Amino acid sequence: MNTKPHVAIVGVSGAVGREMLVCLEERNFPLSKITLLASARSAGKKLTFRGEELTIEELTAESFDGIDIALFSAGGEISKEFAPIAAKAGCIVIDNSSAFRMDPDVPLIVPEINGKDALHPLRNIIANPNCSTIITLMGLAPLHQAFGLKGIIASTYQAVSGSGAQGIIELDEQMKALVAGNPVKPSVYPHQIAHNVIPHVDVFQETGYTKEEQKMLHEGRKILGLPELKVTCTCVRVPVMRSHSISMTAIFEKDPSVEEARKAYEGKPGIRLVDDPQNALYPVPLGTTGKDDCEVGRIRKDQVLPHALALWVVGDQVKKGAALNAVQIAELL
């Protein structure tokens, strides 16, 4: 690969694709050229990068000639169709969809946790994990390194931007309708999201869990290299614009004290300890929105299970949960 690679963003017109562009600029990523790709519907539109106006091009099978790294954020079906084409052309694909996450030949990477696994992709494809999985594991990885993680009991509080732009629009329109005294008609979600919470993210499986809830189990096992990790999770959509929050009890091989747990975060990149509840200091979604780092707090001994801690982790799911994580993988390469 060139010292300064030619980078493409596939799906640049979407929220995560645009955030990828922002992250590349914010981090002064050393690229020689950038190509913006999207559907025919978005082709011809303009976006600005480093003060230069760039035109979005239509994604085709010929789009990847001469491109070194392609950041994909266009949905699973597009990834399944075009990622193998890009990989065959010699491009390394970093894919934000779920299409390749559980493929045994495709690394599933959170750079702060298992970044070394990204350096030799067998198929020229690297997968970006699910947003709530990334944020959860950012909070748990330092504790796992110190005490040996065995199990997770979690509930997520997921912002509407996790559903894309339409989720944001729906919450905004419903809030305005309620203020005006007008009726609310759900469209994106099965129930009204304004003034409500909905324990339903993704589709339900025969087990009674949703696909989103199972991602934390399967992806967590792969990223941490813990095939026996036990996870039970409930994913909830909440009327928050941006940043996911996770409440969890984590069970360990060793019995950590709260003081030892707090110390485990010292010097760890990408995660910030915010844990002074007596002074109302703990992570909240507005405190992480637009920020690179996730935050962890409310660390306490679990009162039911032995060798367990209860904790609260929050992170911007558009940034660290998607776009930033992909750009960090590109930085590793």
Residue 64, domain CATH: 3.40.50.720
Contact between residue 66 and residue 2 where contact means Cβ atoms under 8 Å apart? no
Q: Do 161 and 258 reside in the same domain of the chain?
A: yes
Flag whether 274 is in a domain: yes
pLDDT digits (tens, 9 = 90+) for 150-178: 999 999 999 999 998 899 999 999 999 99
Flag whether 1 is in a domain: no
Among the options 23, 131, 235, 294, which is catalytic? 131
User: Does position 1 have pLDDT exceeding 70, yes or no?
Assistant: no
- Please give the Cα distance from 316 to 333 (Å, whole number): 24
Total domains present in the chain: 2
Please say if 23 is a catalytic residue. no
Q: What percent of the chain shows pLDDT beyond 90?
A: 97
Instruction: Give residue 55's domain range.
Output: 6-129+323-332
Residue reference for tokens 């290299």: 225
Q: According to the model, what pLDDT value does residue 120 have?
A: 85
Q: Do 125 and 137 reside in the same domain of the chain?
A: no
Q: What percent of the chain shows pLDDT beyond 70?
A: 99
Q: Do 33 and 149 reside in the same domain of the chain?
A: no
Among the options 6, 23, 144, 244, which is catalytic? 244
User: Does position 179 have pLDDT exceeding 80, yes or no?
Assistant: yes
Please say if 244 is a catalytic residue. yes
SS3 122: coil
Residue reference for tokens 């954020």: 73
Which residues 6+ apart lie within 8 Å of 194 measured at CB? 171, 174, 175, 177, 178, 184, 239
Flag whether 307 is in a domain: yes
User: Does position 2 have pLDDT exceeding 60, yes or no?
Assistant: no
pLDDT digits (tens, 9 = 90+) for 188-230: 999 999 999 999 999 999 999 999 999 999 999 999 999 999 9
Q: Do 153 and 300 reside in the same domain of the chain?
A: yes
Q: Do 74 and 148 reside in the same domain of the chain?
A: no
Within 13 A of 316's CA, how many CA atoms are on the CB side?
18
Closest of 119, 106, 156 to residue 134, by C-alpha: 156
Q: According to the model, what pLDDT value does residue 3 have?
A: 80
What is the chain's mean pLDDT, rounded?
97
